[in-house]
Chains A and B, each alone.
Chain A
Amino acid sequence: MPNKKEKVITRIQELESINLAREEDRDLVVQTKKEVEKDNELLALQINQELRKNNIKSIDVVGAIGAGKTAILEKIVEIIASKYRILVICGDITTRVDADRIQSHNAETIQINTGRECALNAYHIYQIIKNKDLKNYDLIFIENVGNLICPSDFILGTDKRIIIVSITEGEWVIEKHPMLFKMSQIAVINKIDLAKRLGTNVEKMIDDAKKINPNIEVITTSAKTGENITKLIEKLEL
């Protein structure tokens, strides 16, 4: 009988060649992943149909931690709150900090604390909208969990997705995270007020976004000074 240490060594040798799933489990792992993706897409489609049926415009906002997603949403909501009845769904690992900030600008907010999950998925959004009277809203923003990777696995059924990065993340941030740029219609490069001081090559960032997705519209903003926020609202057709 092999002892415990020998068993562990044998298992590590197996893992070197099987990438965390035994041969007999690999089909199940692949199948499960495919089904999760398919079900998420199905729910996303259903969400989109429900929102359109109720004439609600919907926008999903993704971006890294600290890029300025909440600050930009605060500015947008402040300007358009008199025109639209707005619901903002805020995703965060914990706390209600972002939802409280946005709520102070006259939008209704719903907080989702994802705990150990790194992004919102269509099931989260479906659960919220099926429990809401959609006749009370004209516009829904979904602020995803701060993350430039995981949200690419889950579409949420919105009309548009905007991705927000900031120049403080470095000029390589866009080329290092292509997937979300491929999936977005508008890219926002925020904190432009710091460009000169940091010496960031903003043109390179714009070029990178266009190379990844030639159809993406790129806009530079400063949530702090309000620069180009009105232009962003126009691009969002709000």
Chain B
Amino acid sequence: MKVLNTVGQRVPMHDAATKVTGQAQFTDDLALPGMLYGKLVRSTIPHGRIVSIDVSRAKALPGVKGVITGKDIPDRVYGIVPKAKDEHALARDKVHYIGDAVAAVVAVDKEIAEEAARLVHVEYEPIPAVFDPLDAIKEGAPLIHDNLKTNISASIHKEFGDVEKGFAASDYVFEDTFFSQAVNHAPIEPHAALAAYDLQNGDLTIWSCTQIPYFLKRNLATTLLVPENKIRVIKPKVGGGFGQKIDMYAKDFCACWFAKELGRPVKFLYEREEVFQSTRQRHPMYLTVKTGVNKAGKILAQKITAYADGGAYNSTAPLMITLSCFFIMIPYRIENLIYEGYHVYTNKPVGGAMRGHGIPQARFAIERQIDLIAKRIGVDAAEMRVINAIRAGMPHPAGFIINTCGFADSVTEAAKAIGWKEKRGKLPFGRGVGLAGASFPSGVANMAHLASGAVVQLSREGRVSILSGAADIGQGAETVICQIVAEQIGVPMEDVHITAADTGTCPLDAGTFGSGVTVRAGNAALLAANDVRDQLFSFVADRLKCKPDDLMTANRRIWVKGNPDAGMSLSDALFEYQYSNRPLPIVGRGGWIPPAEQPTSLLTKNGNFSPNYSFMTQAAEVEVDLELGKVKVVKMVTVHDCGQPINPMLVEGQLEGSIMGGMGQALYEDSTCIEGQQYNPSFLDYGFPTVMEMPEMGALHIDTDDPVGPFGAKEAGEGTQLAPAPAIVNAIADAIGVEFNRLPVTPQVVLEALKKNADKS
């Protein structure tokens, strides 16, 4: 690691004190004078035509200020992927799942709004529904979207290398099928939006708990039929997102619609049940993996067939299925691959981006099968991963550029840290160890609009103010950006302030998804800070009779490299700057887009998907309660190549949180949907891990110095949630000899498997 002043330091989040004192403002904490409260009416059936909607009783209720249905708003669909837009803010002719929004009401208080929503009467003509992607693709299955001839909403067919030849050269070929369940992001903050309209100039302002303010602005403009420059999206503090707050929702549209129609501020707030039912969830997914290997365990060819359950709408469908495909070929070198993937509509809650986005399901399948194959052919499972590891500089079949890669080392180190040699296959029955590997992009490179900008101002009194479009959703993006700027201008963190994610005042940013913020927005901030520094240095160099390149800055001081006495304080420099009649504040600008051929998309064209890639191996030790079937994760080790951590404390926070998410997916969480009805849409029934379940955790870094990331940084937000689930399930196999290929591994399935084994013997 490099020795730096602010970057690389365990700096507390710049807004942490506001968060521990209750001063931090989330969307629902905001209130405006005269504010109205909204409520959505949602479909009670999974699939049907809307025959009629009677809003008369709702409208007549005193205190109700407005009621709208899908027929009252423009017939415009929206969606996060431009080519895959298929969602109306309020359903027009059909409902596609239980929880689809069909009408919206606003009233002077929330009780009246709730009562009005109950008074809206919707008459449906039910249509047969379909709840499993494998049923939905069958001939004669009910068609969910009228404009399509099939329920397949996105598909990908890719071949790399020569798969036939690869299988022919293989000593063994194995085929196994895996299933990952639906899980909910479950951010603790429920979704909310507050909108206000300026009756004089027609400006619409919305405060929304969004991860991507600029895309929300665009989707609002195209559905409200309002010019984009009349909409300002402000992201207050966001109480966790994990991908669920990427999409626009009915609450955003309706808050804006009513604010504009009524000229009064309007707030919509979702109930927890709505968050589970009517936002997004991780796609349930079937993957069949056929793999050819030689005797040493080298993978020679793979053929994957995947069916993702997309639920009622597309959301990120094409991207999700693409990610699932392309990331099979990393962190292992797979030269010959066929991937056939289908994103299928069902009459269920909607699949969307969730931490890992299509890759965790694939990693579960691949990492489980590596363990299965290793056992079948008598190769060590850790060794097999090292044999197949992709390394820096190796060609990737689809054109990913791997500049730095600590994967092979991460496997070896993780094995060492969990005690692989001493424990694997050697612990008493009921106890075992397992590991799994992964890789993740640091944002998406190959779409031209995915750029970030930054403006940095240095004032006369030495205050640094940053404008950034980056959306901090709790991961600490703002802090990381402040650290980068503080480092470059040579001031302590307390001198740096940031205004971010306000589309009215901040430069363009793609938003928080794909784990791209540190690299993309971080680089933009770095360039803007360098711009400020260059202006200042050029002035100071004149005064100190040296070249600007000879200057250093830290601790509010500028000096000549190698001669600390030849220098001046930042304060003096700014004083002289002012009195030499130069304009203040010094303003620097930066814009960064990942280097890539553009515009392209992996669906149609290969290319380098991301500016760089993180790598990691996670190893688990588990203990299975043989009587109760409960699996306890005793220890979890992460060995991580995320380049230079800008803030090691925040990186640890990311990976510790990811382990919790991965454990939830492995052992506890299942957003159960029967005949389209959610059965556990509450925290109590859903049950994600509490503090009681958390294991001992350890983290080690493999140092790499990436040439593209700011200070060599790579992503650290999502990649670590890919491997925990397969690592845990691999450890369970080591503990009790049962191979689980379906998630989650609940006490019930453990007990059933143990009983089956006992009956056999």
Q: Do A and B bind each other?
A: no
